[in-house]
Amino acid sequence: MLKLNRPLAFFDIESTGLDIINDKIIEISILKIDSDKKEKINTFRINPGIPIPPESSEIHGIFDRDVKKCPKFYELGEKIKSIIKNCDLGGFNILKFDLPLLIEEFNNNNVKFSTKNLNIIDVQKIFHLMEKRNLTSAYKFYCKKHLKNSHNSFSDTMASYEVFIQQLKQYNLKEVTDLRGNRIGKITNDIDKISQVLNQNMIDFQGRLIKKNGNAVFNFGKHKGKLVKEILKSNPEYYNWIIKGNFSKNTKDKLEEIKKKTFSKSNENS
């Protein structure tokens, strides 16, 4: 039986994107469990005041037309606050996304809200703590064996290969979907095809630069989701910041390649 010292509010947010500073909430659902265990859920659809990118709509199924006549956040902020006020807060990945985004919206709309002395329960954190995502766990899961001499390069290399072979057997010809539910290929014993499935949108190793609709976009920072070539033209200082900054050589090299292609094409067209 769940022991509560104060009401508990679990919530989840759908938004225009994943940039906590610049993106906006378009839907929030709050399940409030009172100290006597009574449950009440509220869902609010919100007009973000900015266009919802198509790639975001593909994930949550909410389009501009769906929020056109909905209230803005400044109209709902105090009501949302009143529901979660003095509640412990819970959800999946709320520490990295939902809670910071909600607080950002509160601040932008002059709604005073503090999490001081509140308990924050992130279900994803429990998941990651209890179901480890490391080689030892993968070896046990796929190979049904305990990995001896973990963090020994020879043992880890051999274990990685064993895990890979078992993955091929377990997932042979199974469809792979990305986080949006899009089908991106099948697992087969063909190395070329596996690589295409795993790395089709990858540009640099760290995922700072990725492909969207065949174009290179930034996958981090204030220009996340924006075309690299457009930022290189409009904000060359950003390129210099990356080249001189604490980024891997691979990321810098890939950005340099994109820059050369971008400006060589510009010169050809001029």
> What SS3 string covers 194-255?
HHHHHHCCECCCCCCEEEECCEEEECCHHHCCCEHHHHHHHCHHHHHHHHHCCCCHHHHHHH
Q: How much is the pLDDT for 266? A: 63
Is 262's pLDDT higher than 70?
yes
Rg (CA), the chain: 23
Question: How much of the chain exceeds pLDDT 90, in percent?
Answer: 64
Q: How much is the pLDDT for 190? A: 87
Q: Is the pTM of this model over 0.85?
A: no
CA dihedral 86, 87, 93, 99 (to 10 degrees): -30
Rounded to an integer, what distance in angstroms lies between the CA atom of residue 206 and that of residue 7? 41
Q: Are strands 39-45 and 25-33 parallel, antiparallel or unpaired?
A: antiparallel
User: Got the DSSP string for 135-203?
Assistant: HHHHHHHHH-S--TTTT-HHHHHHHHHHHHHHHHHHTTT-EEE-TTS-EEEE--S-HHHHHHHHHTTBS
The domain locations on the chain are: 8-127, 135-198, 209-269
Is 268's pLDDT higher than 70?
no
Q: What are phi and psi of 103, to 5 degrees?
A: -65, -40
Query: What pLDDT, in 10s, does the model give residues 57-111?
Result: 988 999 999 999 999 999 999 999 999 999 999 999 999 899 999 999 999 999 9
Which listed CATH number (3.30.70.1170, 3.30.360.10, 3.30.420.10, 3.40.50.300) goes with 8-127? 3.30.420.10
- SS3 for 9? strand
Query: What pLDDT, in 10s, does the model give residues 193-234?
Result: 888 888 888 999 888 999 988 999 999 988 988 999 999 999
DSSP-assigned beta bridge partners for residue 91: 122
Rounded to an integer, what distance in angstroms lies between the CA atom of residue 18 and that of residue 90? 19
Q: Are strands 120-122 and 88-91 parallel, antiparallel or unpaired?
A: parallel
Is 267's pLDDT higher than 70?
no
Q: Are strands 209-212 and 215-218 parallel, antiparallel or unpaired?
A: antiparallel
The confidence band for 12, taking pLDDT boundaries of 50, 70 and 90, is very high
Rounded to an integer, what distance in angstroms lies between the CA atom of residue 102 and that of residue 192? 43
